Amino acid sequence: MRTANCSCPNCGQRIEFDLENVGRIAPCPTCGQELLLTLTQGNKSKLSGRPTRLAIIGIIGVVGLVLSLKVKEWAEFEAQEAAVFSTPSPYAPLYEMQAKAEVAAREVEYQKWLANLHSPVTEEPGKTKVFPPLTAAEMAKAQQIILGMDITRDEVENITWYEHPGKIGMDVSLYVGVFPSGNPVLRFKMRYHGDDWIFIKQFLVCADRELLTIKPKKELDRQNSDGHVWEIYDEPAVENIDTILKIVNSRKCIIRFEGEKYYFDYRVTDRGAESSMAQVLLVYRYLSGNFEK
């Protein structure tokens, strides 16, 4: 408990009292004269810079009041914001209709693309599938795709190869070769890369739950280096063009690289109208390619 003192104006007696009693009237213990308990100059200087308990309590109260007001204000703001966002927009039905129309338009374009790619206009039995002529937009797109392709030239056999860039490691892809005659040839490549050999005998293709089989016509190219192995299937695409088109057009496709004892399932993620294989098919058509059997 902190104390202070003052003098009785009647007898001069020094009176000590609790600091909380400042401002009260009390009798002098010596002469009985009532006096006002006040702080002397010395007590004031001693107490300067030291907040009293009441002052501290007051400060804490003010801070608490401010905080409570701020919390209340924030709660009211959040409630108003929630009310704004929970209120359905009068334009919501319009937005929903617009979104459905855009989805429907994309689906129509996708189906048109499938029809052009997968349904030839004419077909001579056992010989050639002839696709419809490219539109101006398709020709412009093919030219743009070619600019971004890896193009290599075999100067010995005079063959120019067109391949989609960035094809390394595990992969399923198409590429085009243009021979001196000017006729393009489409080739299909599937490449396994891992730590152990599979000795692939065939490929099981599951395209949208339809099971198809690709059997190599020749032995696969097998390579190894630094503890890694490659098994590479690379043959003309014409023998399996229907299966290839189903891979490109599928919503979901898994290819099983199957050996005598072991296998590896490869999930094809590069599919659809904008996939690298679809782009190579477009370039092949641009170069006047058909599927000769």
CA distance 104 to 287: 32
pLDDT tens per residue, range 264-276: 999 988 776 678 8
**Beta-carbon contacts of residue 5 (< 8 Å; ≥ 6 apart):** 14, 15, 16, 17, 40, 43
CA distance 286 to 284: 5
| Intervals of CATH 2.20.28 along the chain | 3-50
The reported pLDDT for the residue numbered 23 is 74
Q: In the CATH hierarchy, which fold is given to the domain comprising 3-50?
A: Rubrerythrin, domain 2 (2.20.28)
Two tokens, residue 216: 């190599």
Q: Where are the beta strands (DSSP E) in 13-125?
A: 14-18, 25-27, 34-36, 122-124
Determine contact, residues 201/260, Cβ cutoff 8 Å. yes
CA distance 124 to 132: 14
Task: Report, as an integer, the average pLDDT of 25-38.
Answer: 83
Q: Any long-range contacts for 171-175 (C-beta under 8 Å, 24+ apart)?
A: 172/247, 172/255, 172/266, 172/268, 172/270, 172/277, 173/276, 173/277, 173/280, 174/237, 174/244, 174/276, 174/277, 174/280, 174/281, 174/284, 175/280
CA distance 266 to 287: 30
Beta partners for 162?
151, 176
The reported pLDDT for the residue numbered 119 is 45
Two tokens, residue 84: 């704004």
pLDDT tens per residue, range 64-96: 777 777 777 877 777 776 665 555 555 566 667
**pTM of the predicted model, to two decimals?**
0.55
pLDDT tens per residue, range 229-278: 999 999 999 889 899 989 988 889 999 999 989 999 999 887 766 788 88
* Residue 59 burial (10 A CB sphere; 0-12, 13-18, 19+): exposed
| Intervals of CATH 2.60.40 along the chain | 120-292
CA distance 91 to 106: 23
pLDDT tens per residue, range 135-188: 889 889 999 999 999 999 998 989 999 998 876 677 899 999 998 887 889 999
CATH fit for domain 120-292, picks 3.90.930, 2.60.40, 2.60.120, 3.40.50: 2.60.40
Q: How many CB atoms lie within 10 A of CB 277?
A: 22
Above pLDDT 90, what percent of the chain? 29
- Predicted confidence band at 122 (pLDDT cuts at 50, 70, 90)? very low
Determine contact, residues 8/35, Cβ cutoff 8 Å. yes
Nearest residue to 214 via CA among 275, 171, 258: 258
Whole-number average pLDDT of the chain: 79
| C-alpha to C-alpha distances, 5 to 8, 28, 36, 280, nearest whole angstrom | 10, 12, 11, 101
Report the sign of the C-alpha dihedral through residues 196, 202, 207, 210, in that order.
negative
Q: How many CB atoms lie within 10 A of CB 267?
A: 10
